[in-house]
Amino acid sequence: MAVTARKGRTSTSTYTVAGETLADLVKEIDRKGPKDLNDGKRYSGLCVGKISLLIGANDFAFVTTAGASPVEVTATLAAGTVTNDCEITMPKLASNKGLSSAAQKEWNRFVAAVDKHENGHVDAYFADAQDLAKELNGMSATGTGKDEKSARVAAQRALLEAMKKAYGGTVLNDRVGAIAKAYDSRTKHGESQGAVLDGRIT
3-state helix, strand, coil in the chain (%, to 5): 45, 25, 30
Residue 44 lies in a domain: yes
Q: What is the pLDDT confidence band of residue 1, given thresholds at 50, 70 and 90?
A: confident
Residue 11 lies in a domain: yes
Q: Residue range 29-33: average pLDDT?
A: 97
Question: pLDDT for 180-192, tens place per residue?
Answer: 999 999 999 999 9
The predicted pLDDT at position 7 comes to 95
Q: Are 127 and 13 in contact (CB under 8 A)?
A: no
Q: Residue range 172-177: average pLDDT?
A: 96
Question: pLDDT for 57-96, tens place per residue?
Answer: 999 999 999 999 999 999 999 999 999 999 999 999 999 9
Residue 199 lies in a domain: no
Q: Residue 125's CB: how many other CB atoms inside 10 A?
A: 25
Q: Residue range 107-131: average pLDDT?
A: 98
Length of the chain in terms of residues written: 202
Residue 134 lies in a domain: yes
Residue 124 lies in a domain: yes
CA angle 72, 79, 154 (to 5 degrees): 25
Q: Residue range 148-176: average pLDDT?
A: 97
The predicted pLDDT at position 98 comes to 87
**Helix 22-32 crosses helix 101-137 at what angle (to 10 degrees)?**
30
Its sign, for the CA torsion 146, 150, 151, 155, is negative
Do you find a cis peptide bond into 34, omega within 30 degrees of 0? Answer: no
Residue 187 lies in a domain: yes
Q: Residue 100's CB: how many other CB atoms inside 10 A?
A: 13
The predicted pLDDT at position 84 comes to 96
Q: List the domain range (segments joined by +) for residue 95.
A: 4-193
> What are the C-alpha distances in Å from 117 to residues 11, 138, 176, 187?
15, 32, 16, 8
**Helix 148-167 crosses helix 101-137 at what angle (to 10 degrees)?**
150
Residue 198 lies in a domain: no
- Buried b / exposed e along 5-38 (16+ C-beta atoms within 10 A): beebebeeeebebebebbbebbebbeeebbebee
User: What is the number of domains present in the chain?
Assistant: 1
Residue 75 amino acid letter: A
Residue 202 lies in a domain: no
Q: Residue range 104-116: average pLDDT?
A: 98
Residue 19 has pLDDT above 80, yes or no: yes
The predicted pLDDT at position 198 comes to 98
How many angstroms separate the CA atoms of 15 and 45, rounded? 9
Residue 11 has pLDDT above 80, yes or no: yes
